[in-house]
Amino acid sequence: MTAPSNIVTIEVPSKWAWFVRSRLYFLVSSWVGISASFAPLFLYWSGKGWFYPRYARVIVPLCFVVIYLVPLFYIVVGQAVATQLRRSPK
């Protein structure tokens, strides 16, 4: 037997609603897999000198940007959702 579920409506600011409906959201969401798996791998390979050692000055900062900024987007969106959930009556 399953537990009863609640239906919750969340109000999101219009700028986030526009972003989620745009094609840019697809681009950001596709970078999540890269930030979780490939960016740390490329960073490791760059540190070892195995991944385009001539371009390490460009690749290493780009890896850090992808690793830190892509999840930050989801933290901001998740914070907006959590705020709305805390405000909703139980």
For the chain, give every domain's residue range.
Answer: 20-87
Which of 87, 74, 59 lies closest to 51, judged by CA?
Answer: 59
Question: What is the model's pLDDT at position 90?
Answer: 61
pTM for this predicted structure = 0.56
Among 23, 22, 35, CA closest to 75? 35
Residue 41: what pLDDT? Answer: 84
CA 73 to chain centre: 5
Per-residue pLDDT reduced to its tens digit, 37-82:
788 888 888 888 888 888 888 888 888 888 888 778 777 777 777 7
- Check if the beta carbon of residue 13 is closer than 8 Å to that of residue 84: no
Looking at residue 79, the DSSP 8-state letter turns out to be H
Structure tokens at 16: 């986030």
